[in-house]
Amino acid sequence: MKKFITGMLVLSLLFSMAACEEKNGFVEKTTELKTAFLSQEAEVLNQTDETKTDDTLEIKDTFISDQMMEEEEIGLYAEYAINNGEIVLVQGMDNDGIVYEEDKLIWEKIKLIVPEKYMAMITKFEVVTDGLDGILASVNLNEDNKTWTISVDLDDTLDENYEFTGESIVTLIHEMSHIIALNYTQMVEEVDDKTLYTVMEGTLKKDSYLSLFYDKFWKHHMAEYSVNSEEENIDNENDYHFYSEYKEEFINEYAATNPVEDFAESFAYFVVRPKPTDSSIKSQKLLFFYEFPEFIKIRDSIRKTIDINKVNEKAR
């Protein structure tokens, strides 16, 4: 796993990044610059006594707490506050208040995907990287338990032509669905009913979207499904056995991680794929979302703003 550089080397590298030339209206975080950054980072690592590991992440999205940020060594390109729907630079390579064009491009895409109702719950936007093919995006509940931070990996989201990859669009929809399912309006204020479904973010109302999904597709499995937390890793041997046993019930392997991720993966495919006509459990999960007018409206809106054929061609 790559280790994040601290001290004066970071400052010197960041100032070098800040000096990069503009091209086609973009402040370039060029491939050459990133290569140099990682090369110097490797030199620093070689000078340490720390043991390097090869913890390659195979999933593209997850919840990321502050502790996980430290453990996964995710580098911060820029941090933005949200003011009337627009991003305002709080911390970046230049610290001069200029919004990077690539970051603005990503934020505008997020605004097209996420309905206004849920956009109002996002108060922080982070542009990060853990290297190519790591965590593509994440959402994290803030300390007030009402607002959210969305983090996007710049390196995995845009290609060399500053176009969104199909996978990045699907992942952004996936992350939006976490906010839909886990926001404070879906939770009970006081936990006095042990029969309610509880996740890391709180205890869900009986009629919440995720609770209904859980009751229909997961509750009957829980006796045999070993759940230690809402962040179970599918690489765990018991979890992989669960997926193998019920493979036909899930859109993909990651969906079998837990009900939260199954909801999000199923929602993303509900948006980007045609309405299923078969009766399989995995298709029933997609059809579940057609029962709610709000979700149909969200689906129609998103499909008008993206090239759905391109997304399906390039998505996982």
Q: What is the pLDDT of residues 68-122, one digit of tens each?
A: 444 456 688 899 999 999 999 987 766 567 788 999 999 999 999 999 999 999 9
Q: What is the pLDDT of residues 2-31, one digit of tens each?
A: 223 333 333 333 333 443 433 344 334 434
User: Please, are residues 261 and 182 in contact by the beta-carbon 8 Å criterion?
Assistant: no
Helix runs in 83-185, H state only: 101-113, 116-119, 154-157, 166-182
Mean of all residue pLDDT scores within the chain: 77
Q: Which residue has the higher pLDDT, 225 or 275?
A: 275
Q: In this structure, what DSSP letter does residue 94 have?
A: S
Q: Phi, psi (5° rounding) for residue 27?
A: -80, 110
165-186 pLDDT, tens digit per residue, is: 878 999 999 999 999 999 999 9
Domain boundaries, the chain: 56-164, 189-314
Bigger pLDDT: 214 vs 162: 214
Cα four-point dihedral sign 218, 204, 295, 265: negative
Mean per-residue pLDDT for 197-202? 92
pLDDT score at 308: 81
**Measuring CA to CA, how many Å separate 94 from each of 13, 17, 56?**
11, 9, 30
**Structure confidence at residue 19 (pLDDT):** 37
For range 115-130, the mean pLDDT: 94
Check residue 26 and give its pLDDT: 39
